[in-house]
Amino acid sequence: MGTILAMPEVLSLAMHALVLLAKGEGKVMKSEEIAETIGCSRPNLVRSLQMLKKGGLLKSEKGPGGGYSLTRPADTISLLEIHEASFGPLYSPGCGVRGCSIEGCELAWFADHITEVFRKHLSKSTLADLLNSLAHRKRPVVVIAPEE
């Protein structure tokens, strides 16, 4: 059975790590501690952490007492930034038919539209918003309205 939204492991690990770090409010965490808390393999997590560091969302300190921490407050980190840092740009898959020759393909338009709505939602939503939703066990509201 397929899913409407598939989250690649690298993105899921990045999101889990950032949530943990944001909950720690500035606390530095070692990759081993993050991996153990999430329940994932450390090498896979480290790849995600390195991408987030390269994307400017994390900083790392070496040595005793070192580890990873956020580069800025959670309310200034958009979910789109997290996606792009860990998985690359968000793009539309089109209609899914390689080489589709239907001019004005309605399915491609629909996929493009949904992708743009999702991109806008991620750009307006922050890591702090996600934490707030998790803390109150509220699902975020996404309104898909026609373009004006």
pLDDT digits (tens, 9 = 90+) for 54-71: 999 999 998 888 899 999
Give domain status of residue 1, yes or no.
no
Encoded tokens for 3? 């899913």
Give domain status of residue 63, yes or no.
yes
User: How many independent structural domains does the chain possess?
Assistant: 1
Give domain status of residue 83, yes or no.
yes
Contacts of 109 (CB under 8 A, 6+ apart): none
Give domain status of residue 116, yes or no.
yes
Please say if the pLDDT value at position 123 is more than 80.
Answer: yes
Instruction: List pLDDT tens digits, range 70-93.
Output: 999 999 999 999 999 998 898 888
pLDDT at residue 7, rounded to an integer: 78
- Domain containing 75 equals 9-135
pLDDT at residue 85, rounded to an integer: 95
Q: Give the CATH number of the domain where residue 41 resides.
A: 1.10.10.10
For residues 58 and 23, the answer to whether their CB atoms sit within 8 Å is: no
Give domain status of residue 113, yes or no.
yes
Give domain status of residue 145, yes or no.
no
pLDDT at residue 15, rounded to an integer: 92
pLDDT at residue 5, rounded to an integer: 66
Q: Alpha-carbon distance 111 to 130, whole Å?
A: 25
Mean pLDDT of all residues in 1-9: 69
pLDDT at residue 140, rounded to an integer: 56
- 3 state DSSP class of 65: coil
pLDDT at residue 35, rounded to an integer: 95
pLDDT at residue 92, rounded to an integer: 85
Give domain status of residue 144, yes or no.
no
Give domain status of residue 4, yes or no.
no
